[in-house]
Amino acid sequence: MVTQPDLISSVNEPETPALGLWQQIKEDWIAHGRDWTRPGFRAVAIQRFGVWRMKIEPKILRAPFSILYRALFRKVRNSYGIELPYTVQLGRRVIIEHQSCIVIHGDCVIGDDSIIRQGVTLGNRYLDRPFDAPKLGARVNVGAGAKIFGNVTIGDDANIGANAVVLCDVPAGATAVGLPAKVISPKSGDKTS
């Protein structure tokens, strides 16, 4: 019996990290150049803390951690301009390279080893579909000022150019540039829409 190869990207199957909170934070610290003062590292660490505190039962024991999380989340959002809610499915070693004007929808999926730069928005496209959010695969490189809207899937190893506005799926290994973004084939360099 011949088995079919797995054609589903890692975007469709978010990996549940086997690491504990401190191991995840240490891994993120190393990915951010071992600099705990970087705003991106702080935002990611607080997001990890937010996910961790939701596992505490009963709710009465979780309450003080929730108050602390909300205060830290608001501090990062208001001081650094990075809005990264705990409901985001964040992969391992995700790097937020710079600060300011980074807004990430709470239902987004961001794969392992992805990089997000300043001015990036990952959000919904239509008001009547508030839960539609982008899904980024592993090792996605999102350029400064890029906007990715709606229920779109960005494949593994894709590149999103600076200031691109992505409204459609981007295949694995491809590059999307422009306004609205056009997908450039990774091998031939031909543009497709």
| Confidence (pLDDT) at 6 | 40
> How remote is the C-alpha of 191 from its chain's centroid?
26
Residue 4 pLDDT more than 80? no
pLDDT of 16 above 70 = no
pLDDT tens-digit profile of 69-84? 999 999 999 999 999 9
Helices (H) then strands (E): counts for the chain: 3, 16
Average pLDDT of the residues of the chain: 89
| Average pLDDT score over residue span 57-65 | 95
Q: Determine the pLDDT at residue 2.
A: 40
Please count the other Cβ atoms lying within 10 Å of the Cβ belonging to residue 59.
8
Residue 90: predicted pLDDT: 96
Among 177, 145, 173, smallest CA distance to 160 is for 177
Q: What is the pLDDT of residues 145-176, one digit of tens each?
A: 999 999 999 999 999 999 999 999 999 999 99
Q: Is the pLDDT of residue 96 over 90?
A: yes
